[in-house]
Amino acid sequence: MDVAWPERREDVLNALRVLSAAPPALDDAGGDTRWPDLTNAVHWLADDTSWDLVDPVTSIGTILRDSQESDVIREVVAAVVAVSDRQGSLSSDAAWFGDSGWSEVRRLATKALTCLAR
């Protein structure tokens, strides 16, 4: 199934690429210097889609293709929200990358990226 909003889907894929990658070298303030950076990746995945508030299943046909994709997205968003709850939105990227749950975010983002890229 094609999706109605392919450009939004591409934003999600780019966010998953950032979240699944090894943490980059950071600037002197502890910030991610890539584009998209960690902050934008989190916004594109959770805030811009509202998946931090609504079930991703509601995006089948617009951003996601099927329930398999919504299931893996639900997992990675929950892991990102858990890190956000512990670190807060104003913490440095270094704090996020150093969070005890960051390896789970990476694992789930990789799983989601593989699913969505099929």
pLDDT for 45-82, tens place per residue?
A: 999 999 999 999 999 999 999 999 999 999 999 999 99
- Looking at residue 51, its pLDDT comes to 98
**Cα(57)–Cα(40) distance, rounded to whole angstroms?**
22
Which residue shows structure tokens 């694992």? Answer: 107
- Looking at residue 89, its pLDDT comes to 84
Residue 27 lies in a domain: no
Q: In this predicted model, what pLDDT tens digit does every residue of 91-116 receive, in sequence order?
A: 999 999 999 999 999 999 999 999 99
- Looking at residue 44, its pLDDT comes to 97
**Cα(95)–Cα(31) distance, rounded to whole angstroms?**
10
CA distance to 29, 57, 88, 92, per residue, from 96 (Å): 13, 27, 9, 7
Residue 39 lies in a domain: yes
Q: Give 1's pLDDT tier (boundaries 50, 70, 90).
A: low
Residue 63 lies in a domain: yes
Residue 30 lies in a domain: no
Domain count, the chain: 1
Residue 90 lies in a domain: yes
Residue 68 lies in a domain: yes
**DSSP H stretches of helix in 37-101:** 38-42, 67-87, 93-97
CA distance to 16, 28, 76, 95, per residue, from 115 (Å): 11, 35, 12, 28
Question: What is the span of the domain harbouring residue 49?
Answer: 6-21+35-116
Residue 95 lies in a domain: yes
- Token digits of residue 35: 């584009």
Residue 105 lies in a domain: yes
Burial class (CB in 10 A: 0-12, 13-18, 19+), 5: middle
**Which of 53, 71, 62 shows the shortest CA–CA distance to 8?**
62
- Once rounded to an integer, what is the mean pLDDT over residues 22-49? 94
